[in-house]
Structure 1
Amino acid sequence: MALHRQRHAAEGASSSRHPNSQPRMLIQCNPLEGYERLWNDYFAQPSIYPPNVFRRRFRMIRDIFLRIHFAVGTHDDYFVQKRDASGRLGLPSFQKMIVAIRMLAYGVTTDLLDEYVRIGESTTRLSMKKFVKAIVSIFGGKYLRSPTSNDIARLLEVGQRCGFPRMLDSIDCMYWK
C-alpha cells in the first residue's frame, strides 16, 4: 500500500483528499546562501549597501530594525535560530523577519522573496503570521492605538512647522477620528 502511494505521488496523480493539488516538491534552495547575501548586503561592516539604501528598502533605519529584531526574537522563540531533529541549523531570525518586513513594505507575494532571501513559501507565510502577531503583542499598546489629545496636538504642530497646517493624516495613512 505504501509503495502504491509513493508511486502514485511520484507519477503526479492527485490524492483523493486534495483532488486539485500537486505533490509537494522539495527544492534545495540553499537558505544559507540567502542569509549570507542578506548579511553582506545590509549588516556586515562594511555592508554593500549604505544606510540610505537600507532605509529605502526596509522603510526604517537599521537601528530600529535591530531593535525590532531583538524584541521579536525575545518575544517568540520561532525567531531564534535552532537545530532541527537531524541536527541541521534552521533559518536565522534575520531571514524570517526580513521576509515579513519586505512583504509589508512592498506588498509582495512569497514567490518574489524566494529568489533573493531563499525561504520557501510556507515558511514565509508562517514568518509573516508570527511576525505580525509579535509586533501587535509587543508594540500594540504604544504604537497601534488611537491618538490621544496630546498626540493630535503634537502631530498638528509638526504639520504646521512643515507647511501643512491642520493636517493630521496623509494619503497613505489611516483616517483617525
Structure 2
Amino acid sequence: MDRREAWKQTVRELCFGNDSSDEEDNLFLATVTTFHESSATQRGAWGGSVPGRRRIQRNRLEGHQRLFNDYFADPPVYPDYIFRRRFRMKRDLYLKIVKAVADHDPWFQQRRNAAGELRLSALQKVTVAFRMLSYDAPADSLDEYLQLGEATIIESMRWFVWAIVGVFGDEYLHSLNEEDTTRLIAINERRGFPGMLGSIDCSLNDINVLHRSHLLDNLAAGVAPQVQYSINGHQYTMGYYLADGIYPEWATFMKPISCPLGRKRQHFVIQQAAVRKDVERAFGVLQSRFPIVRGATRI
C-alpha cells in the first residue's frame, strides 16, 4: 500500500470506523477525489506550483555553510578586521544580536519543512537584513551568495526590524530617564554648558525632526526633564537642547545669536556651534556605516 492509499485508509477509519458499508466507501472516495481536484485548482490560483512559473532550486544549506565558513568558523576565511568592515561591528556583538533576535522571535529559528528539510538559518536571515542596512542593497542582489529568494529577503528585513525594536527598544529607544539626565548634565557642564541635555538634529531636513521623532513628544509639549543648575547666580530647573536657527522659539532650545555683537556674544556663538556639531558628526558616522540612514530603503 502506497502513502496515498494508506492516508485514505486512515481517514476512512476516522470518518466511518472499521465497519463501513460500500455506500459509505463510495461516498468517501467521491469526497476525496473532489477534495484533491479542488486543492489542485487552488494551488494553481493562490500558491504552490503556479503554471508557467519557473521554480528556482536554491541550496539553502550550502548558503548557510558558505556564510559560516567565511565569517564564523574557527578559523574563518575572513579575519576580524574584514568582518568589522563588512558587518559594521565586531563579531561578538553581531552574534549577540543574532541570538537575541532568534530567542525573541521563533521566525528566525532554523526549522524543518514538511518534507523534513532544514530551512534557512538565523545567520542567513539576519545577515541579509544587515547587508541591506549596511549597503542599502536591493534584495535581489543578495540571492546568489546566501541562497535566499527576493521575497524571503524582504520578509527577513521586516521581521528583523520588528525584532530589534522588540528586543532593544526599551533600552535604546526611550526618552531620557533620570540616569541619562544626570550623566548628560555632568558631561555638558564640563564643556561649558550647564543644564544642557544634548543637541537636536537628524539625517533628514532639520525642520522634520520634531514631527517624526516620538522621543521628542514631551519636548514638543513644552515639557523637559527637571534639573538643577546655576548660571551667573541665577537658578534654573529646566534642561535645554542646542539647536540651530531653523528651530522654533521654545524655552527648551538654545539657538545661536544672529549677528552677534561684542566678543562675549561672538565667543558664545562659536562655542555653541562647536558643541552642536557633535550630533551632526554622529549622524555623519552613522551614514557612512549604514547608508540606509540617508533615506528610506526601497525594498
The alignment's TM-score, normalised by the length of structure 1, stands at 0.75
Please state how far the C-alpha of 1:168 moved relative to its aligned partner: 2.8
Aligned residue for 1:128, secondary structure, equals helix
1:74 equivalent to 2:67? Answer no
Amino acid at match of 2:173: L
Aligned residue for 1:168, secondary structure, equals helix
In structure 1, C-alpha distance between the alignment counterparts of 2:181 and 2:109, rounded to whole Å: 39
Please state how far the C-alpha of 1:151 moved relative to its aligned partner: 5.7
Amino acid at match of 2:65: E
What do you get for the CA RMSD once the two structures are aligned? 3.1
Residue 278 of structure 2: which of 136, 146, 168 is its match? Answer: 168
Deviations along 1:3-30, one digit per CA (max 9) or x if unpaired, are xx99xx8xxxxx8x9xxxx954311121
Deviations along 1:72-104, one digit per CA (max 9) or x if unpaired, are 010000111101111111111100110011111
* Preserved CA contact (<8 Å) 2:60 2:119: no
Corresponding residue of 2:181: 149
Uncovered stretches (5+) of structure 2, i.e. residues with no partner: 1-36, 192-272, 287-292, 294-299
Say if 1:87 and 1:154 are closer, same or farther in 2 by CA, change over 3 A.
farther
Amino acid at match of 1:144: L
Which is worse superposed, 119-128 or 148-157?
148-157
Could you say which structure has the larger radius of gyration? 2
Corresponding residue of 2:74: 45
Deviations along 1:116-137, one digit per CA (max 9) or x if unpaired, are 1110011111111111000001
In structure 1, C-alpha distance between the alignment counterparts of 2:111 and 2:165, rounded to whole Å: 24
Amino acid at match of 2:85: R
In structure 2, C-alpha distance between the alignment counterparts of 1:135 and 1:64, rounded to whole Å: 14
Say if 1:46 and 1:146 are closer, same or farther in 2 by CA, change over 3 A.
same
* Preserved CA contact (<8 Å) 1:152 1:168: no
* Preserved CA contact (<8 Å) 2:102 2:108: yes
Please state how far the C-alpha of 1:156 moved relative to its aligned partner: 5.9
Amino acid at match of 1:125: I
Please state how far the C-alpha of 1:153 moved relative to its aligned partner: 5.0
**Could you tell me the percent identity over the aligned residues?**
44
1:57 equivalent to 2:124? Answer no
State the structure with bigger RCO (CA 8 A, min sep 6), 1 or 2. 1
Amino acid at match of 1:149: T
Please state how far the C-alpha of 1:155 moved relative to its aligned partner: 7.4
What count of residue pairs does the alignment treat as equivalent? 155
In structure 1, C-alpha distance between the alignment counterparts of 2:56 and 2:187, rounded to whole Å: 49
